[in-house]
């Protein structure tokens, strides 16, 4: 793997993440998220990778549509910081929702690939 991150690398990873979320693909999500991931939900709660994966395993979150709009993407050495607005349509615990969120995500390059190490989402 090349030592330099590029915008295209990160955008490819983002697209893989969107697909995994929409498909509820636990295997792909497991590969994209770092084991020590920390993420702050719109509620303010901090969750780990396992807690995030459990949301998909138990079927609590089903995303039918995910419409991203990248705001900024900064490459900083072996890390990338991306901010984006995402419109989500789906169901949470069986209750339909349609909402917009602003996200920040931190991607880091490791020997085994580029993984999300942290982030946060906020309803807008």
**Tens digits of per-residue pLDDT, 75-109?**
999 999 999 999 999 999 999 999 999 999 999 99
Let me know: does 104 contact 85? Beta carbons within 8 Å.
no
Output the average pLDDT for the chain: 95
CA distances from 53 to 25, 28, 39 (A): 9, 10, 12
Q: What is the pTM of this model?
A: 0.93
For the domain bounded by 7-123, which CATH number is listed?
3.10.450.50
pLDDT at 1: 44
pLDDT at 28: 98
Residue 65 pLDDT > 50, yes or no?
yes
Cα(124)–Cα(111) distance, rounded to whole angstroms? 36
Residue 58 pLDDT > 50, yes or no?
yes
- Rounded to 5°, the CA angle 62-103-21 comes to 25
Residue 68 pLDDT > 70, yes or no?
yes
């Amino acid at each position: 793997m090349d030592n330099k991150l590029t915008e295209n690398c990160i955008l490819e990873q983002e697209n893989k993440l969107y697909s995994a979320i929409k498909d509820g693909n636990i295997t792909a999500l497991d590969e994209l998220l770092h084991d020590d991931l920390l993420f702050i939900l719109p509620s303010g709660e901090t969750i780990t990778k396992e807690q995030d994966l459990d949301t998909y395993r138990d079927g609590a979150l089903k995303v039918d549509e995910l419409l991203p709009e990248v705001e900024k993407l900064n490459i900083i050495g072996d890390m990338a910081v991306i901010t984006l607005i995402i419109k989500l349509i789906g169901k949470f615990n069986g209750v339909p929702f349609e909402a917009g969120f602003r996200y920040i995500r931190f991607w880091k390059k490791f020997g085994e690939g580029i993984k999300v190490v942290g982030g946060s989402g906020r309803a807008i």
